Amino acid sequence: MKRIYLDYAATTPTHPEVVEAMSPYFTEIFGNPSSIYSYGQEARGAIEQARASVASLIGAQEEEIVFTSGGTEADNFALKGVAFASENKGNHIIISPIEHHAVTESAKFLERRGFSITRLPVDEYGLVDPDEVRKAITAKTILVSVMQANNEMGTIEPIAEIARITKEAGIPFHTDAVQTVGHIPVDVNELGVDLLAMSAHKFYGPKGVGALYIRKGTRLVPFLHGGSQEGRRRASTENVPGIVGFGKAAELAQAEMNQEAERLSRLRDELINGLLERIDHIRLNGHPTIRLPNNVNISFDYIEGESILLNLDLEGICASTGSACTSASLEPSEVLLAMGLSHEQAHGSLRLSLGRWIADDEIKRVLEVLPGIVARLRAMSPLLKSNN
């Protein structure tokens, strides 16, 4: 059976040109970039070239890019780095309630150590109101963190408007741009952010490498102590092949992103409209238009997302739910709950995320298969019976 991969928001296949670019750095040019002989210096040169490509993708200066082990480390570095660098100024941090766990768990960690966290409200589409940010700021606020686009339901946040408010107040502003960089145009100066997290594996680069953009003048305490790599901001021998792959993915994205975003937006809308036409009692989660080009998130009344997922898998279709599996129980998505969905609606959600190798006929196949799965599951659903 031919598989249809519709979980690009979880991770993407590494682009063959990225694998090709990385390959020599495992075997031929394997030197430590801190070594002064040529093997080392060739590796150093490749890192700096990748830094230039990543910086160019987001309109940053090269020295403002610090490579990390991924988006999670970049988010942790932003929150904890600023928090511990600003303890003499204050202890208050503002985040949105729809952040990735890399931000929410970092915030909880800081909360346990005496920092105070404000979690902003969001509207039914998951949008943060910039005015709520203005109202939440106090004399003790040291950081605001709002993601650029949500990984579950795809809504794109008004980052530039929020940045105008934080700038006026003189407070650093971090955005988790893991789902946007490489997919839609991102420019740190147009956005006005001070910190921005990225991850290579979300846009056809390798896993285990990412970066934090740090605007010149933003104060952060280093996260890893040791050698003097990354301008003393992140110790440890650099992941040279990973960084080279990240750089190559950035170059490819810069060349192809706009065209690809247009193609995916068309397929996304075809999928959304097709599902809304064919299946009753469903709703689109996230904003209808201000959303990622590749994100479809639907709640199905009376059935659970996990059951749909398992049935799709039997048809060779890989998707995901909004809810996180814990070992003992299935928790509903905190993101969907924050947007006002009921527990049942949040449990009945399905995310289909599109990407580079998804073809028109695959979208058609999903539209053929999914209504039948939903009808079968609803026929067995105790939830439907009790509602009729």
**Residues engaged in binding ligand PLP (CB under 6 A):** 70-72, 75, 100, 102, 147, 151, 176, 178-179, 199, 210
State which residue, 96 or 151, has the beta carbon closest to ligand PLP. Answer: 151
State which residue, 192 or 242, has the beta carbon closest to ligand PLP. Answer: 242
In the complex, the smallest distance separating the C-beta of residue 203 from ligand PLP, rounded to whole angstroms, is 11
State which residue, 102 or 341, has the beta carbon closest to ligand PLP. Answer: 102
Is the Cβ–Cβ distance between 302 and 384 less than 8 Å? yes
State which residue, 176 or 362, has the beta carbon closest to ligand PLP. Answer: 176
State which residue, 268 or 351, has the beta carbon closest to ligand PLP. Answer: 351
Pair of tokens at residue 376:
């079968």
| Torsion 310-312-316-320 (CA) sign | negative
Active site (annotated) includes residue 325: yes
| Torsion 291-150-244-220 (CA) sign | positive
Tell me which residue has tokens 């003189």: 170
Cα separation, 92 vs 115, whole angstroms: 6
CB-count burial class (<10 Å; 0-12, 13-18, 19+) for 198: buried
Q: How many other CB atoms sit within 10 Å of the CB of residue 378?
A: 18
Q: Which phi and psi (to 5°) does residue 139 adopt?
A: -65, -20
Pair of tokens at residue 6:
């519709």
In the complex, the smallest distance separating the C-beta of residue 176 from ligand PLP, rounded to whole angstroms, is 5
Residue nearest ligand PLP by beta-carbon distance: 71
Q: Of the candidates 231, 205, 187, 248, which has an alpha carbon nearest to the alpha carbon of residue 67? A: 231
Pair of tokens at residue 310:
């398992």
Cα angle value 322/271/58 (rounded, 5°):
70
State which residue, 75 or 362, has the beta carbon closest to ligand PLP. Answer: 75
In the complex, the smallest distance separating the C-beta of residue 7 from ligand PLP, rounded to whole angstroms, is 11
Q: Of the candidates 90, 94, 89, which has an alpha carbon nearest to the alpha carbon of residue 114? A: 90
Catalytic residue of the set 160, 325, 375, 380? 325
Known catalytic residues are 325
